[in-house]
């Protein structure tokens, strides 16, 4: 028998304020239209955080829902990992703020910075910690307030992103050590710093002393996205002796409808087996995968034992995939 990190619960949080494509121009003075945005991205609206909302407050709300659905008290959590590119502060970590909000006083908490791939990185870390016995109950959170790092005069980027948070609870359980086990089967993480300048925030505490704004070479990012994502999914399947036909659900990073559609086709999946939220959430970076998972699980679409592929690509470049049975 081996120790597996089993998904016990999923949760999500979206700010109350919804901004449609048509409302963007009115609210932020952007020269754009619903047709222009929909044609290029598939996005029709996004959620924007209220002045008092932060990465930690939204992340804590998502984590509470995940714990409630898992039937686990916050005091039982011994590991909190938060993926975010928009932390409350340079330190303390957003994760320790969430740890305190959950009522957990044992174990440890830390942040992960891998942009849109951050949640997959967080899953990989939590899985390793549970497998090695350093944690028994981990909460992995993706939470972002991207509206505060956008250049609202650049319609090529500001229309793409939204705010929100998602979370999963992972608990230690037993498995046979093969691909029939429930839980995280494997994670596969990559980065290539040579491409760091095609998607970045042009500032920081240790460089300019200011937060900076998001900058992106969209065509370059798109060029890397499908090939790298397809490759890492094949890597994950191969590591577990599985085929594309074994996949029940694709839960991708919600960056762009065209990328999501291309990945679904590459994997031979019908549209109804690809979870899509980008039309309503926009790109919520590290929060997008757990938000999509929480929505699908909350609707009862994903059943016990279903094989899921979670994959993403983000600034760095970073990319990765996790294979898991629900």
Positions annotated as catalytic residues are: 116, 253, 283
Alpha-carbon separation of residue 259 from 67, 162, 169, 299 (angstroms): 32, 18, 28, 24
SS3 184: strand
**C-alpha 21: how far from chain center:** 23
Q: Distance between CA 101 and CA 179 in Å, rounded?
A: 36
Number of other CB atoms surrounding residue 120 within 10 Å: 31
Helices 218-239, 257-266: axis angle to 10 degrees equals 30
- Cα Rg of the chain (Å, integer): 18
Q: H/E element holding 172?
A: strand 163-175
Dist CA 166 CA 98 (whole Å): 13
CB of 56 closer than 8 Å to CB of 143: yes
């Amino acid at each position: 028998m081996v120790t597996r990190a089993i998904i016990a619960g999923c949760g999500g949080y979206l700010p109350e304020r919804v901004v449609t494509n048509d409302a963007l121009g009115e609210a932020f003075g952007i020269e754009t239209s619903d047709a222009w945005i929909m044609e290029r991205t598939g996005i029709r609206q996004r959620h924007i955080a209220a002045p008092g909302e932060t990465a930690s407050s939204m992340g804590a709300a998502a984590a509470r829902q995940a714990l409630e659905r898992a039937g686990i008290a916050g005091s039982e959590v011994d590991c909190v990992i938060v993926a975010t590119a928009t932390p409350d502060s340079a330190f303390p970590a957003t994760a320790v703020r969430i740890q305190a909000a959950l009522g957990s006083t044992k174990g440890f908490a830390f942040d992960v910075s891998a942009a849109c791939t951050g949640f997959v990185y967080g899953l990989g870390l939590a899985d390793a910690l549970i497998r090695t016995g350093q944690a028994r109950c981990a909460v992995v959170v993706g939470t972002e307030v991207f509206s505060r790092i956008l250049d609202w005069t650049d319609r090529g980027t500001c229309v793409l992103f939204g705010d929100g948070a998602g979370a999963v609870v992972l608990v230690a359980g037993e498995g046979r050590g093969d691909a029939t086990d429930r839980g995280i089967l494997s994670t596969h993480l990559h980065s290539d710093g040579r491409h760091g300048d095609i998607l970045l925030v042009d500032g920081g505490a240790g460089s300019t002393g200011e937060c900076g704004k998001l900058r992106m070479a969209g065509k370059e990012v798109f060029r890397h996205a499908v090939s790298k994502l397809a490759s890492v999914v094949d890597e994950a399947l191969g590591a577990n002796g599985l085929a594309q036909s074994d996949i029940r659900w694709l839960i991708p990073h919600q960056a762009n409808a065209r990328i999501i559609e291309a990945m679904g086709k590459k994997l031979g999946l019908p549209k109804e087996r690809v979870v899509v939220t980008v039309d309503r959430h926009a790109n919520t970076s590290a929060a997008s995968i757990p938000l999509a998972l929480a929505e699908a699980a909350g609707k009862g679409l994903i059943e016990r034992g279903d094989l899921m592929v979670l994959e993403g690509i983000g600034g760095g470049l970073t990319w990765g995939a996790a294979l898991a049975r629900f």
